[in-house]
Structure 1
Amino acid sequence: MNTKSHLRTRMLCEGALMVALAQILGYLKLAEAPNGGSITFAMFPIILFAVRWGLRPGLMAGFLFGLLQLIFDGAYAWGWQSMLLDYLVAFTPLGLAGLFRGKSWGLFAGTLAGCLARFAIHYISGVTVYKILAPTEFLNWTFSSPALYSLVYNGSYMLPNTIITLLISVVLYVPLKRFILGLDLK
């Protein structure tokens, strides 16, 4: 019997597990950029949770994951603005995947929406906060434009992260379809 209280407790437990799993997966870095940002499998659990439970729980899970990244992952930041934008604000929009709750294609659209929003926040941070580094070198290129530097730098890890999350979604969609769509909650 799925009472409202039971579902809320289940949502909180699943959220805690998914945030913890994301944190653990965040330590398994495939690559790491010199000024923060890495390529990991960590976004998938947050996006999966958001698509399963909806926007508000998804945004909260993204925020909590960002907070854990800030506290435990050796935050790379240039002041409080960078800490706020690159961690708390940037990871929260992964929960936008919750806008696609219950849709058969929601996991894929949610991944794109959450990752694009996270990239946008990192881009804004790069243009506003990290402009103090200009001119700077990255990938053997010298950038004098903070906008171009932010686009290339943040794209260098966000594009692979988005692709990885989409690939995980493709592989797990069929075996987890009932779970992803929340059919077990009805």
Structure 2
Amino acid sequence: MLCEGALLVAAAQILSYVKFLELPNGGSLTPAMFPVLLFAVRWGWKDGLLGGLVLGILQFMFDGGFALGWQSILGDYLLAFTALGLAGVFRGRRWGIFAGTVLGCAGRFLVHYVVGATIWAEYMPEEFLSMTMTSPWLYSLLYNGVYMLPNMVLALVIGALLYRPMGRYLTGADIE
């Protein structure tokens, strides 16, 4: 489990440099979440949370962590990436990789959403404030949704492409 976790977290870190979209204040579209989601579904939520935490630490250290203080480091990196491990709730289930992907991504989005509306609220762009939408909660919903929804779809597509040839591996059936 430790070796597989180390390899999948390392793969996630490497894949995080493949960016299809990058937003100005953090957040990007990458295939990086899939290896951690896979690890969580194979080994369970406890090990998955740990894998997500390690990826969050690596993301902050090596991906040019963008934070306002310890609160945004804790939220946007440590808690948000740890939430990916919630995918492990669906360990051993036939469609676990898909349900786990949705749950893990929803958890990560929720953390980014709350951090964005509370900590990053004062940095809402002026052009957004001049519109009728002045709520930091709405701004955070839109900003984080722009990259998290496509990230979830990308992880689901990767899972779908790998499901047929690697179904036993994706479900964790090979370790039982």
TM-score interval for Structure 1 and Structure 2 normalised by the shorter chain = over 0.9
User: Which one of the candidate residues 64, 73, 76 is aligned to 1:83?
Assistant: 73
Distance 1:35 1:137, change over 3 A: farther
Q: Aligned partner of 1:59: which letter?
A: L
Distance 1:142 1:43, change over 3 A: farther
Number of residue pairs matched by the alignment: 175
The equivalent of 2:101 in structure 1 is 111
What CA distance in whole angstroms lies between the structure 1 residues aligned with 2:26 and 2:153?
A: 19
Q: Is the 8 A contact 2:95 2:171 kept in 1?
A: no
Q: Which runs of 4+ in 1 moved over 6 A?
A: none
Q: Aligned partner of 1:127: which letter?
A: A
Q: Is the 8 A contact 1:136 1:144 kept in 2?
A: no
Q: Aligned partner of 2:2: which letter?
A: L
Q: Aligned partner of 2:39: which letter?
A: F
Structure 2 counterparts to residues 2-17 of structure 1, below 5 A: 11-17=1-7
Q: Aligned partner of 1:25: which letter?
A: L
The Cα of 1:181 is off from its aligned counterpart by: 2.0
The equivalent of 1:124 in structure 2 is 114
Secondary structure in structure 1 of the residue aligned to 2:94: coil
The Cα of 1:174 is off from its aligned counterpart by: 1.1
Distance 1:142 1:26, change over 3 A: farther
Q: Which has the larger radius of gyration?
A: 1
Residues 17-55 of structure 1 show CA distances to partners (whole Å, capped at 9, x for unaligned) of 000000000011111000000000000000001000101
Distance 1:77 1:58, change over 3 A: same
Q: Aligned partner of 1:166: which letter?
A: L
Q: Aligned partner of 1:37: which letter?
A: G
The equivalent of 1:133 in structure 2 is 123
Q: Aligned partner of 1:130: which letter?
A: W
Q: Aligned partner of 1:120: which letter?
A: L
The equivalent of 1:159 in structure 2 is 149
Distance 1:112 1:71, change over 3 A: same
1:32 aligns with 2:32: no
Q: Aligned partner of 1:176: which letter?
A: M
1:22 aligns with 2:12: yes
Q: Is the 8 A contact 1:97 1:110 kept in 2?
A: yes
- TM-score normalised according to structure 1 size: 0.90
1:74 aligns with 2:99: no
What CA distance in whole angstroms lies between the structure 2 residues aligned with 1:143 and 1:110?
A: 33
Distance 1:114 1:100, change over 3 A: same
5+ long unaligned stretches in structure 1: 1-10
What CA distance in whole angstroms lies between the structure 1 residues aligned with 2:82 and 2:152?
A: 15
- TM-score normalised according to structure 2 size: 0.95
Secondary structure in structure 2 of the residue aligned to 1:156: helix
Task: Percent identity, please.
Answer: 59
Q: Is the 8 A contact 1:66 1:91 kept in 2?
A: yes
